[in-house]
Amino acid sequence: MKLAVVEGDGIGKEVIPATIEVLDSLGLDIEKIPVELGYGKWERTGSAITDEDISVMKSCDCVLFGAVTTPPDPNYKSVLLTIRKELDMYANIRPIHPLPPVKGIHERNDFNFIIVRENTEGLYSGIEDIGSDVSTTTRVITRKGSKRIADYACKLAKNRMNKLTIVHKSNVIKSDKLFLDVCRQAATDEGILYMDELVDSFAYKLISSPWNYDVIVTTNLFGDILSDMSGALVGGLGLLPSANIGDRYAFFEPVHGSAPDIAGRNIANPIAAILSLKMLLEWHGNIAEAAIVEEALDTALNMGVCTPDLGGRNTTSEVGNLIAKYISTRME
């Protein structure tokens, strides 16, 4: 496998090296190609991402990504939006389930759902007109974009509980009617039981009764917000992995950002990044290796190995190192 490795900014520079140590312990035949992207590169060179960076990523089988800082500067084009669009990775998959013994906000831990977030359009269309008195952002919903994310979610639902929740705001935002109609039709065609929910009341339902949901499909911004919110269900943002999938390319990254408030201290939780590696291995067909990563992670957590966000005393690199050591011993 040829793997592009992007650390990015802030804690990306800490959680990715810890994750690479875990990857290396598996002894797989992987060629790693480092790619520098992000705010740091922008400050240094004047561009956060170049055409060359995109071509390097396209030449690899997939990408492992940390996080980048995006300053609120109208002249700064989001690196992630650029990558998701250039590589046309339309499905953002965010699995959410507890990692015992870590506690989230509920005593119950019998929930396991996946947010399937449309990744290329919606309010993240990048079509903006920024003025001093009026600023607008165009929210784009297309039939094609809605259909392919709906099909992706239906395929996932078929392999799970045959149940789909479509989340939208079509009562007020009329562009969502197209999204809703296309999702309903796709679910009907595939024989999937579906219901639809308005995003505001759904946020309440999801955080208070997550065990009622399985596959959730929604538009770009709603998926972004609902998944960060769901971090509270599992015990923190440092635990949520994600995959960005298209027809040709795939890209794996933690849900969290560059966390400037804790960056540079070696205390960031690397678990979200390590679970993103696990998703990468599954996607690539390394099912046994993915299972070993999960087993090692569970063992570490059960032994109390964790970073301060989970109440532990370990550093980012220690967590990566102990998981890698467990794997090396297990593979002997």
Annotated catalytic residues are: 124, 169, 200, 224, 228
Per-residue contact string for residues 13-32; x = within reach of ligand NAI by CB under 6 A: --x-----------------
Q: Does 230 interact with ligand NAI (rule: CB under 6 A)?
A: no
Could you tell me the two tokens for 4?
A: 């592009």
**If you ran DSSP here, which 8-state letter would residue 91 be given?**
E
Q: How far is the CB of 261 from ligand NAI (least distance, A)?
A: 5
Part of the chain binding ligand NAI (CB under 6 A), chosen from 135-143, 161-169, 258-266, 277-285 = 258-266
Part of the chain binding ligand NAI (CB under 6 A), chosen from 135-143, 181-189, 249-257, 281-289 = 249-257
What is the residue whose two structure tokens read 């939208």? 168
- One of 16, 20, 217, 268 touching ligand NAI (CB under 6 A): 268
- One of 224, 253, 309, 318 touching Mg ion (CB under 5 A): 224
Q: Does 118 interact with Mg ion (rule: CB under 5 A)?
A: no
Q: Rank residues 118 and 224 by Cβ distance to Mg ion and give the closer one.
A: 224
Cα(234)–Cα(238) distance, rounded to whole angstroms? Answer: 10
* Residue 284 touches which member of ligand NAI, Mg ion, none, C-beta under 5-8 Å by kind: none
Part of the chain binding ligand NAI (CB under 6 A), chosen from 17-25, 168-176, 191-199, 267-275 = 267-275
Q: Does 183 interact with ligand NAI (rule: CB under 6 A)?
A: no
- One of 19, 119, 219, 269 touching ligand NAI (CB under 6 A): 269
**Position 270: which residue type?**
P
Part of the chain binding Mg ion (CB under 5 A), chosen from 39-47, 149-157, 216-224, 242-250 = 216-224
Of residues 78 through 107, those in contact with ligand NAI by CB under 6 A are 80
Residue 63: name the closest of 249, 251, 241 by CA. 251
Q: Are residues 240 and 254 in contact, defined by beta-carbon separation less than 8 angstroms?
A: yes
Cα(170)–Cα(198) distance, rounded to whole angstroms? Answer: 8
Q: How far is CA 169 from CA 80, 142, 143, 261, 289, in A?
A: 25, 16, 17, 33, 40
Q: Does 214 interact with Mg ion (rule: CB under 5 A)?
A: no
Helix (H) or strand (E) holding 310: none
Q: Are residues 130 and 69 in contact, defined by beta-carbon separation less than 8 angstroms?
A: no
CB atoms within 10 A of CB 183: 27
Of residues 44 through 83, those in contact with ligand NAI by CB under 6 A are 67-70, 80
- One of 118, 151, 196, 253 touching ligand NAI (CB under 6 A): 253
Q: How far is CA 34 from CA 57, 64, 106, 165, in A?
A: 10, 10, 40, 38
Q: Rank residues 175 and 227 by Cβ distance to Mg ion and give the closer one.
A: 227
What is the residue whose two structure tokens read 């300053």? 71
Q: How far is CA 175 from CA 16, 121, 181, 221, in A?
A: 38, 12, 11, 13
Q: Does 122 interact with ligand NAI (rule: CB under 6 A)?
A: no
CB atoms within 10 A of CB 6: 26
Residue 50: name the closest of 40, 38, 32 by CA. 38
Residues forming contacts to ligand NAI in the complex (CB under 6 A) are 11, 15, 67-70, 80, 237-238, 253, 256-262, 268-269, 272, 309
Residues forming contacts to Mg ion in the complex (CB under 5 A) are 224
